[in-house]
Structure 1
């Protein structure tokens, strides 16, 4: 089980339907940086901005390039930590792709 670590720009992401890892992109500072890296919040979930391709999607037959379809923000268990009123993203958070995959944050930055 993942330890609860605050997610920073560049942390690894893995989708259950993808063939490879990706990295979260936090292009703007929401008001908190750790070791010079922007800290992620629950609204950092937009495909093509924060979340990029996971290689090929195994849900598609035949396999096609992954284009994450993310319609809702990250699901988080702890809403007590906030930056400018938005919940902080932790490694225990998950994100659903409309193509059927579950996206998780890896513990390795």
Structure 2
């Protein structure tokens, strides 16, 4: 069953090496429990979505800088590194497959774990978690 996405949801790009948290700098005023809900328009780079590490697409972002990062591991640092073009998505449109019957503001639907974004570089950006489990640092 799909869950609403809230601030702190963990996202991954199929072409990126590292997952990132979904951000909401200014709350819409709608909460799920204690967590601010996200909407279909919350897909602005560097405001809602950060880069996803190193891009493995055959068509990486134009003018992307080369970076070196510690390889992503859920549990322990592996000591390995990844190097390549930064995975800064170029999102096409807004969140796809929003929850049309739940709105966070007039004309803007809520998004769920079934929602996704498309990057022009070939990546599909999908939620790994809803963010409802995420405890923010105060």
Q: TM-score, normalised on structure 2? A: 0.71
Q: Report which of the two has the higher share of strand.
A: 2
Give the match for residue 28 of structure 1: 26
CA RMSD of aligned residues (A): 1.8
Q: Name the stretch that deviates more: 88-97 or 65-74.
A: 65-74
Q: Give the direction of change, closer, same or farther, for the CA distance of 1:39–1:108 in structure 2 (3 Å limit).
A: closer
Q: Give the direction of change, closer, same or farther, for the CA distance of 1:87–1:101 in structure 2 (3 Å limit).
A: same
* Unmatched runs of 5 consecutive residues or more in structure 2: 60-82, 132-138
Q: TM-score, normalised on structure 1? A: 0.88
Pairing 1:23-102 to 2, within 5 Å after superposition: 23-60=21-58, 63-76=84-97, 78-85=99-106, 86-102=108-124
Give the greater-gyration-radius structure (CA): 2
Q: Which runs of 4+ in 1 moved over 4 A?
A: none
The number of aligned residues is 107
* Unmatched runs of 5 consecutive residues or more in structure 1: none
